[in-house]
Amino acid sequence: NTRVVLAERPVNRAPVEGDFRIERVPLADPADGEVLIRNGFLSLDPYMRGRMSAAKSYAEPVQVGGVMPGEAVGQVVASRHPAWRPGDMVLGNTGWQEFGVLPGERITRIDPNLAPASYYLGVLGMPGMTAYCALLYLGEPQPEQTVLVSAASGAVGQVVGQIAKIRGCRVVGIAGSDDKLAYVRDQLGFDAALNYKDRDGGTKEFETLSREVADCCPDGVNVYFDNVGGVVHDAALANIALHGRVIVCGTIAVYNELEKRDIGIRWMRQLLVKRARMEGFLVFDHAHRTEEFRHTMAGWLSEGRVTYKEDVAEGIESAPRAFIGMLAGANRGKQLVRISQD
């Protein structure tokens, strides 16, 4: 079994490949009540950067020397649990490794006839559910309203924009490269998109960004779906409409600074002036909506109303590099690692 463990915590810096270690260990046998899973696809998600840090958060950090956490889809190869048989396709948090052993209660069945197995890590899984629950239940978008979303072409963002279009909204995306802007506009039907980076690859100044958001959102921003925080958040809040809603879903712009003091909120007075609402979101709080989400999203996928782009790295050894790249915006769509072919 090949696995990836945390070798060193990156403190106030971006992770590098040396922070991870690839290990080869003997295959573990499942104990009573457990199953052995051979992973097909591993999901790489920004939250894993937080788990590498010892800073206080909503979840415990991974220990140095511990297997990097992460969800995967795979096939049961041995079972000592009555509910599971070899061949069953399942989803579970095995971490970054080829094979995982989990208690039978901690895995869920997936239906590869409904959608490709990898979709259960993306549009039909945690990122899709994040987009669905946060947009619809916190954002409450109304037809004709303007929805602005950052990290717009990513795992969560691409779904947010498409659901907002289904709800009859005007959708504006923010992303960090021109091909990402083209993707959301031309393939996903966003109404407008803007690049938050300047020509040198740095983040644009607040004044420039705020003006560009105003140009793309002439009637103001009714819902800002914030995946990034930082100056992009400032520019969105400066343009919030009367009774606007800001969903704080992610703050990836500061994931490499979690050990420092927290960032403040500029333009907070906008919340008062525009009687706007800002609310934090955590997908686990919405677990009771899983069935509703899966059913609705599966329908949209089969009708072609939602499409989904994946970026697949090959082999478990490629996980550290793909993860580092994803945090820096190298991914084109949902970042996955293919671990085995079948």
Using CB under 6 A, pick the residue from 104, 139, 154, 161 that binds ligand NDP. 154
- Of residues 270, 262, 259, the one with CA closest to residue 236: 270
Quick one: which of 283, 300, 252 has its CA closest to 137? 283
- Residue 116 touching ligand NDP (CB under 6 A): no
Which of 135, 228 has the CB closer to ligand NDP? 228
Distances (CA, A) of 308 to 156, 333, 335: 10, 8, 12
DSSP string of 315-328?
Answer: SGGGHHHHHHHHHT
For residues 196 and 224, which CB has a smaller minimum distance to ligand NDP in the complex? Answer: 196
Q: How far is the CB of 311 from ligand NDP (least distance, A)?
A: 8
Nearer to ligand NDP, 35 or 313 (CB): 313
Can residue 147 be called a binding residue for ligand NDP (CB under 6 A)?
Answer: no
Nearest alpha carbon to residue 302 among 128, 109, 115: 115
Give the residue with the Cβ less far from ligand NDP, 253 or 297.
253
Angstrom distance (rounded) from CA 342 to CA 324:
26
Among 176, 191, 322, 336, binds ligand NDP (CB under 6 A): 176
Nearer Cβ to ligand NDP (75/239): 239
By CB under 6 A, tell whether 290 contacts ligand NDP: no
Q: Using the rule CB under 6 A, give the single segment among 83-91, 245-253, 287-295, 301-309 that binds ligand NDP.
A: 245-253
In sequence order, which residues have a C-beta less than 8 Å from that of residue 111 and are 6 or more positions away? 89
- Residue with the two structure tokens 């003006």: 211
Rule CB under 6 A: say whether 339 interacts with ligand NDP: no
89-92 and 240-248 beta bridge pairing? unpaired
Contact 230, 255 (CB under 8 A): no
Residue with tokens 């970026």: 311
> Which of residues 47 and 206 has its CB atom nearest to ligand NDP in the complex?
47
253 binds ligand NDP (CB under 6 A): yes
> Is residue 47 involved in binding ligand NDP (CB under 6 A)?
yes
Name 4's bridge partners.
Answer: 22
177 touches ligand NDP by CB under 6 A = yes
227 binds ligand NDP (CB under 6 A): yes
Q: Which of residues 302-331 bind ligand NDP (CB under 6 A)?
A: 326, 329, 331
Q: 44-79 b/e with 16+ CB inside 10 Å = b? A: bbbbbbbbbbeeeeeeebbeeeebbbbbbbbbbebb
List the one residue out of 166, 148, 106 whose CA is nearest residue 299.
Answer: 166
CB of 78 vs ligand NDP, minimal distance in Å: 32
Q: What minimum distance in Å lies between the beta carbon of 287 and ligand NDP?
A: 11
Residues near ligand NDP, by CB under 6 A: 45-47, 127, 130, 151, 154-157, 175-177, 180, 196, 227-228, 230, 232, 249-250, 252-253, 281-283, 326, 329, 331, 334-335
